[in-house]
Amino acid sequence: MNKGDWFIEEFQGQAGALSFKVDEVLFEGESPYQKVKIVKNSFFGNVMLLDDLVMVTDKDEFFYHDMLVHVPMVCVDNPENVLIIGGGDGGSVREVLKHQGVKRVVLCEIDKMVIDVARKYFPDLSNCLDDKRVEVMVADGIKYIKEHKNEFDCICVDSTDPIGPAVGLFTPEFYGYVKDALRVGGVMSAQTESPSWTLERVVGIRKNIEAAFGNAYLYLCPIPCYPSGLWSFALGMKSDKDPVKDFNIERSQIVAKQCKYYNPEIHKAAFCLPNFIRDALK
């Protein structure tokens, strides 16, 4: 990739694409897991690409991190111990630390190169990794989760797409281990892909979460720099709580003061699903 090129993330084979001009190539490397690139664009700022798919941009990372983290965090009583699987850029950890009462955040990222480039090119995301409440582990999330039981109040699965190194983070077996690693009353959130472009994927992932948790909910958020701009997330609840009726509004209001996207109204609205998704989930 060179300065002046157009980066293209293709959708559905080659049916369409998300594209932006590469104003500068800041880093290109290959880890044991994936191709890692950081490029600069005058509008999006620094952009992280893993295997040529957009992961994070300076400009709109807040949509994703707000929704992956705050929605589950306010559905748990007193979250103190939190695990992030993936998310080596640090964005999810930063959001968890906005919640008063958090005592420990474990970041379990398989690819050290992602953490290293985030520290260099995304300081606003990664600075929080030096907080004394944070434990950074370079480890396989699947292995890690099997060794931990009844330990976490909230687990956020901040993964790449279900192709390549992250495939194992979308299976019913994996979600079963996540449930076991949560204490009773705990909540898991996961990024679950684009409903407008890959609806079958979303439905499949949601089904796997439900198979493990019994109590599962899909919710939505626009993410301008991801394919189609519409993205989904899901919660797996280790309780019979309803994330719309039973979330902690007070804590939601408090954390919203520090957020660019999330607030209590967005929290509720995110669970409203359009008919094409409702129908697909039937």
Q: How far is the CB of 214 from ligand AG3 (least distance, A)?
A: 26
Q: Residue 167 or 249: which CB sits closer to ligand AG3?
A: 167
- 161 touches ligand AG3 by CB under 6 A: yes
Of 271, 266, 245, 206, the C-alpha closest to 63 is: 266
Choices 25-33, 127-135, 154-162, 181-189 (CB under 6 A): range interacting with ligand AG3? 154-162
**Binding of ligand AG3 by 89 (CB under 6 A):** yes
Q: Site for ligand AG3 (CB under 6 A): which residue of 54, 93, 156, 169?
A: 54
The correct pick among 126, 160, 189, 208 for binding ligand AG3 (CB under 6 A) is 160
Question: 261-281 burial, b if ≥16 CB within 10 A, otherwise e?
Answer: bbbbebbbebeebeeebeeee
Among the listed residues 158, 161, 180, 242, the single catalytic one is: 158
Shortest Å distance, C-beta 240 to ligand AG3: 29
Q: Is 158 marked active-site?
A: yes
Residue 210, interface with ligand AG3 (CB under 6 A)? no
Residues near ligand AG3 (CB under 6 A), total:
15
Task: Report if residue 56 touches ligand AG3, rule: CB under 6 A.
Answer: yes
Of 1 and 249, the one with the shorter C-beta distance to ligand AG3 is 1
The answer to whether residue 87 forms part of the interface with ligand AG3 (CB under 6 A) is yes
- Rounded least distance, CB 246 to ligand AG3, Å: 27
Amino acid at 143: K
How far apart are CB 266 and ligand AG3 at their closest, in Å? 19
Binding to ligand AG3 (CB under 6 A) within 221-240 occurs at 226-227
Give the interface with ligand AG3 as residue ranges (CB under 6 A). Answer: 53-56, 64, 87, 89, 91-92, 158, 160-161, 191, 226-227
